[in-house]
A and B are shown apart, each in its own frame.
Chain A
Amino acid sequence: MPLLEVQGFGKRYRGKRAVSGVDFSVERGELFGLIGPDGAGKSSLMKAVAGVLAYEEGRIVAFGVPVDSERNAERVKGRMGFMPQGLGLNLYPELSVEENIDFFARLREVPPAELRERKARLLAMTRLAPFRGRAMKKLSGGMKQKLGLVCTLIHQPELVILDEPTTGVDPLSRRDFWAILAELLNEQGISALVSTAYLDEASRFHRLALMHQGQVLDQGTPEEILSRVPGSVVQFRSRVVAEVVARLRNRFPQVESYGSRVRLFLPGVAPEVASREVTAQLQGVEREELEVLEPELEDAFIQLLEEQSEERGPDLSPTVGSGAPAATFGLGAPATGERETDSRRPDRPRSGRPGQRPEGEEVMIEARELVRDFGRFRAVDRVSFRVRRGEIFGLLGANGAGKTTVIKMLTGLLPPTGGEGRVVGADMRTSSRAIRQRIGYLSQAFSLYRDMTVLENIRLYGGIYGLHGKALKARTAWVLAMAGLGGQEREMAGSLPMGLRQRLALGCALVHRPRVLFLDEPTSGVDPLGRRRFWEILTWLSRSEAVTILITTHYMSEAEHCDRLALMHAGRLVADQPPEALRRELVAEAGELLELEVDRPLAALECLKAHFAGVSLHGNRIHLFARDPEAARRRIGDRLAGAGLELRGLRRRVPGMEDVFVYRMGALEAAA
Chain B
Amino acid sequence: MNRARILAVASKEWREILRDRLFFTMAFGVPLLIMLVLGYGLSLDVENIPFAVVDRDRSELSRDYVHQFSDSRYFDLLGYARDERELARLLADSRIRLGLVIPDRFQERLQGDRPVEVQALIDGMFPYRAQTTKGYLAAIHAELNRELLVEFLGRTRGMTPERAAERVAPVRLEQRYLFNQALESDWSMASGLMMLVLMVSPPFLTALGVVREKESGSIYNIYASTVTRGEFILGKLIPYVGVSCFNILVLWWVATRIFGAPFKGDPLFFYLASVVYVICTAGIGLLVSILVRTQVAAVLLTMVITFIPSMLYSGLLVPVESMSREAQLQAHLFPPFWYLQIAWGSFLKGLGWERLWSQTALLAGYAAVLWTLGLSLFHKRPKR
Chain A residues with CB under 8 Å of chain B are 13-14, 47, 50-54, 69-70, 73-74, 77-78, 80-82, 84-86, 89-92, 94-95, 99, 103-104, 106-109, 135, 151
Contacts and interface: CB of A to CB of B under 8 A. Distances in A.
A616 B5 CA distance: 39
Given A99-B15, A109-B4, A74 B226 contact: yes
Interface in B335-384: 379-384
A597 B225 CA distance: 39
Contacts of A74: 226, 228, 380
Nearest to A47: B220
26 contacts: A50-B220, A51-B380, A53-B384, A54-B381, A70-B379, A74-B226, A74-B228, A77-B226, A82-B223, A86-B217, A89-B218, A90-B216, A90-B218, A91-B218, A94-B15, A94-B16, A94-B19, A95-B12, A95-B16, A103-B8, A106-B5, A106-B7, A106-B8, A108-B225, A108-B226, A109-B5
Interface string B1-22: 0101101110010011001100
B227 interface: yes
A335 B19 CA distance: 62
A89 B223 contact: no
A3 B228 CA distance: 24
A47 B224 CA distance: 9
B224 A80 contact: yes
Interface of B: 2, 4-5, 7-9, 12, 15-16, 19-20, 216-218, 220-228, 379-384
Contacts of B226: 74, 77-78, 108-109
A50 B222 CA distance: 12
A50 B12 CA distance: 23
Nearest to A91: B218
A444 B220 CA distance: 27
A52 B19 contact: no
A103 B236 CA distance: 13
Given A86-B217, A107-B221, A73 B380 contact: yes
A89 B221 CA distance: 11
A78 B2 CA distance: 15
B356 to A, nearest CB: 41
A77 B217 contact: no
A172 to B, nearest CB: 25
Contacts of B381: 51-54, 69-70, 73
Nearest to A105: B8
Nearest to A44: B384
B217 A94 contact: no
A89 B216 contact: yes
Given A95-B15, A107-B227, A89 B20 contact: no
A90 B384 contact: no
B220 A92 contact: no
Nearest to A99: B15
A94 B218 CA distance: 13
Given A89-B218, A90-B217, A95-B15, A81 B224 contact: yes
Given A92-B16, A94-B20, 14 more contacts: A54-B381, A54-B383, A70-B379, A74-B228, A77-B226, A81-B224, A86-B216, A92-B12, A92-B218, A107-B221, A108-B225, A109-B2, A109-B226, A151-B221
A154 to B, nearest CB: 11
Contacts of A85: 217
B12 A103 contact: yes
Nearest to A48: B381
Contacts of B380: 51-52, 70, 73-74
Nearest to A108: B225
Contacts of B220: 47, 50, 52, 82, 84, 90
A77 B225 CA distance: 6
Contact of A52 (B7, B15, B223, B228): B223
B104 to A, nearest CB: 70
A45 B154 CA distance: 100
Nearest to A75: B226
B224 A82 contact: yes
Nearest to A155: B225
Interface centre among A14, A54, A90 (most CB of B within 10 A): A90
A107 B15 CA distance: 16
B15 A90 contact: no
Contacts of A53: 381-384
Contacts of A92: 12, 16, 218
A665 B243 CA distance: 48
Contacts of B7: 106
Interface centre among A69, A78, A103 (most CB of B within 10 A): A103
B32 to A, nearest CB: 23
A99 B16 CA distance: 11
A441 to B, nearest CB: 28
Contacts of A90: 216-218, 220-221
A265 B280 CA distance: 67
A133 to B, nearest CB: 13
Contact of B217 (A51, A78, A80, A84): A84
A51 B12 contact: no
B382 A54 contact: yes
A645 to B, nearest CB: 38
B123 to A, nearest CB: 47
Contacts of A81: 224
Nearest to A81: B224
A1 B373 CA distance: 41
A47 B220 CA distance: 9
Nearest to A76: B226
